[in-house]
Amino acid sequence: MKQLNNLRKNKSKAHGYRFTVGRILQIVLALVFLVFAGRFLYISISKTVAGENLTERTNQLYRKNQTLKATRGTIYDRNGIAIAEDSHVYTVYAVLDHSAIDYHNKPQYVVNKEKTAEKLAEVLPLSKERILKYLNPKKKSYQVEFGSGGSGLTIRQRHKIESFHLSGIKFIETPSRLYPNGNFASHVVGLAQSRTNHKTQNSTLVGTMGLEQYFNKQLSGKDGYRESFVDGENEQLPNGKTNGKQPVNGDSLYLTLDFQMQSYLEQLMSQVQTKYKPVSLTAVVEDIKTGKVLAASQRPTFNPQTKKGLSGSWRDMLVQDSYEPGSVFKVLSLAAAIQSGNYNPNATYRSGSITIGGSTIHDWNNSGWGVIPFSQAFPRSSNVGMATLEQKMGAKVWRQYLDAFHIGKNTGVTLPGEVPGILSFKTSTDQAVTSFGQGVNVTTMQMMQAFSSLGNNGQMVKPQFVNKIVSPNGKTVRKYKTEKVGKPVYSAATTKVILQNMKNVLNPEYGTGSAYNMPGQSIGVKTGTAQIANPKGGGYMTGNNNYIFSVVGVTPLNNQRYCIYITMKQPQKMTAAAETILASIFKPMMSRIILTASKHNSSTSASTTTVPSVAGKKVSEAEAAASAASLTPVVLGTGKTITNQSLSSGQKTTAGSKLLLNTGGKLKMPNIIGWTKAEVTALSKLTGLQVQFTGTGSVKKQSIKAGATITSGSQLKVELEE
């Protein structure tokens, strides 16, 4: 009985414990529920967790921010021919990691490597075997690229690859700049290159040289953005709101450069560079009435499209290199002597040598020509004669004229990195030698500014590379006008005497410039042979080729308007006289200038034409329209109507240019012998041909025979020859 009572007591205690534990659990659960309920209520009201707004976090998760890129402005020549324009290139890459899947569990990696390699080989300049090596790396990689063969792709190549629907094949888009004319005023026009912002991963074109750099802000425009809401597959929600700002495209530049004149100058300079190997070579053609530069170039140079030669020619020698000009500087000292009343052409002096400040100055032939009149000092390029005139003027007066010519000062031309040069003028010897271009360092554009005084009766004008800046809607933002620099340096009467002296330089009896004579043409010149300071110190370099040879010419003499100035430093293969070498550029270029002048500056405008729109037209109609616009039609394909054309409708181009017309169907390889590199590039864009160039100049050989069927991705090797 006692045991039974004890058992009952134990059961009662156990029941009590269970009840107590159950009650405690109920209370705990109730408290937990109240905490969660309170938390959810708090979150639903405040919509914040740990200080972060949940609504904003959700919006960020499903919000897509997209940068809308502004189009960089185009750079045109004076007649509206495109020199630099916006473009895009693409880099293809392959995702290999099997973790790359989408929301539907579809693979976003390369599934069939054999098929992928086979298809990519149809477009890329790589073999199937080479592509397979990239797709099977030795080390595990999430993704791989295909080297240079998979970069720099055109939009046409991208679309072709996308049409294969290959899983795991992706593209990186990079803004690019198209320079269709190759070596064309490369240091003047400059270069724009892609720069990536590592925070946003956005790529932007930035001007790094020349006008591209100087006008980078105007050309760049402003990027816009678009903000939209997307679903889990990154697709925009049908009722989702979008916010954003449209991009503002960049302004365009219309230059003073003339396409035909610049192209001709490049050709002539390349010939001299190839044959005589000068260390450097510069040439400028300018309308000295207005200051507008019609053509300007240098050697060494580079191709902004391929970047060939860029590593060795970063400097713009027209504004960033200073040098002793030599005897072409005598144009300035003669002007000063005449204007200051210290030039008497009939007075005589003894040539050969003169001692000033304890130093002896010699004529270039050392012995001189005996006693001669001052009227022959300039044509004979007598150092003694010019130093004597400087002595007559006096250092104070001569310095005033040097300042009036802005020697030692920047011109302010629209090119980056201009240097002011150096003027040594302390001792009487320093002062004397400046009269024939020693002891003074100038830039090419400083000299062009000084020479402009010959076209304006002593009034200098600033060199000018840009005619106008035009907004994307076609409105002129800024029109550049002729800018007079300082007060007139000398009078019309002085100009007349200077020009007569420049004409006498061509005199075969005593002039130094007979090699530049062009019978029947109204020109005047001045030659120069400047010594080069020894980089190791101690005077000047010796040797027949260790000089800066130069020539400046003006035409016509009765209404002087055009000036050409050429410099050549240290030709390494001096197989001809310096005058003969420079004349091979000077005389053909001067002939082109005279032709321009004879047509009252209308020859360039008459040589341009507007490209018609022929897309959708029958072949016969398109050919007729092209011919009517003074273009040469080249029909590609076996179709009956034009699907696309190589030149955009409405753009200006030179008369006689080829207009490639794609009709679709089977494409046949045309005979491209004699074509320019730009024309072959246009063919590549239109057909998808992969072109490999060697050499420079026009086409000499083509690897695909004329008449052979071609497809997008076909490999064409082209040999160019000057």
Catalytic residue set: 327
- CB count, 10 Å around CB of 340? 18
3-class DSSP assignment, residue 100: coil
Q: How many CA atoms, within 13 angstroms, populate the side-chain half-sphere of residue 16?
A: 6
Token reading at 314 = 């970063």
d(Cα 167, Cα 120) in Å, to the nearest integer?
Answer: 12
Q: Are 343 and 476 in contact (CB under 8 A)?
A: no
Site of tokens 């027949």: 544
Q: Are 675 and 122 in contact (CB under 8 A)?
A: no
Residue in 424, 281, 277, 407 with CA at minimum distance from that of residue 336? 407
CA 279 to chain centre: 22
Q: How many CA atoms, within 13 angstroms, populate the side-chain half-sphere of residue 93?
A: 12
Token reading at 616 = 């959708």
Residue in 540, 467, 152 with CA at minimum distance from that of residue 287? 467
d(Cα 436, Cα 337) in Å, to the nearest integer?
Answer: 13
Q: Are 655 and 674 in contact (CB under 8 A)?
A: no
How far CA 493 is from CA of 81, 101, 496, 497, in Å, comes to: 41, 85, 5, 7
- The per-residue DSSP string of 213-245 comes to HHTHHHHH-B-EEEEEEB-TTSPBPTT--EEEE
d(Cα 328, Cα 526) in Å, to the nearest integer?
Answer: 6
Residue in 570, 566, 533, 540 with CA at minimum distance from that of residue 552? 566
Token reading at 618 = 């029958």
- The per-residue DSSP string of 281-308 comes to EEEEEEETTTTEEEEEEEES---TTT-T
d(Cα 379, Cα 524) in Å, to the nearest integer?
Answer: 11
Phi, psi of 593 (to 5 degrees): -65, -45
Task: Please name the helix (run of DSSP H) or strand (run of DSSP E) that holds residue 96, with its range, or none.
Answer: none
d(Cα 380, Cα 666) in Å, to the nearest integer?
Answer: 68
d(Cα 555, Cα 287) in Å, to the nearest integer?
Answer: 10
- In single-letter form, the type of residue at position 690 comes to Q
3-class DSSP assignment, residue 641: strand
User: Dihedral, CA atoms, 677, 678, 679, 682, nearest 10 degrees?
Assistant: 120
How far is it between the farthest Cα atoms of the chain?
162
Through-space distance between the first and last CA atoms of the chain, rounded to whole angstroms: 129
Task: Please name the helix (run of DSSP H) or strand (run of DSSP E) that holds residue 175, with its range, or none.
Answer: strand 169-178
